[in-house]
Structures are given as C-alpha cells and as structure tokens.
Amino acid sequence: MSANPAYLEAALAAIEDAYGSVDAYLRDALGVDATLREQLGERLVT
C-alpha cells in the first residue's frame, strides 16, 4: 500500500485549516472519542 506524500500533506493541511488539528477533526467531524481513537491506534499503528 502506498500514498502520494503530496496528497497526504495537502489533506493534513486542509484538516488543520478547518479543525485546527487531526485530534479535533477526529472528534468533531468523525465523532471519534478517546477510547475509539486508542483502539484504532492499537490496530493501525504498528
């Protein structure tokens, strides 16, 4: 699996412009609470 770095940078910049941080985006836009974020991190970050 791969992703274009420029695309990822643009997406993160747009999230930070709109929400201030990725944490705020996850919480406010996606409804991800701290417990779910921790569970996702355990599965996705190795």
**Using one digit for the tens of pLDDT, what is the confidence trace for 1-46?**
789 999 999 999 999 999 999 999 999 999 999 999 999 999 988 7
Question: How much is the pLDDT for 23?
Answer: 93
Rounded Cα–Cα distance for residues 21 and 15 (Å): 7
Rounded Cα–Cα distance for residues 41 and 37 (Å): 6
Spatial contact of 33 and 27, defined as CB atoms under 8 Å apart = yes
* Structure-token match 């996705």, residue found: 44
Spatial contact of 33 and 23, defined as CB atoms under 8 Å apart = no
Rounded Cα–Cα distance for residues 18 and 45 (Å): 25
Tell me the whole-structure pTM to 2 decimals: 0.76
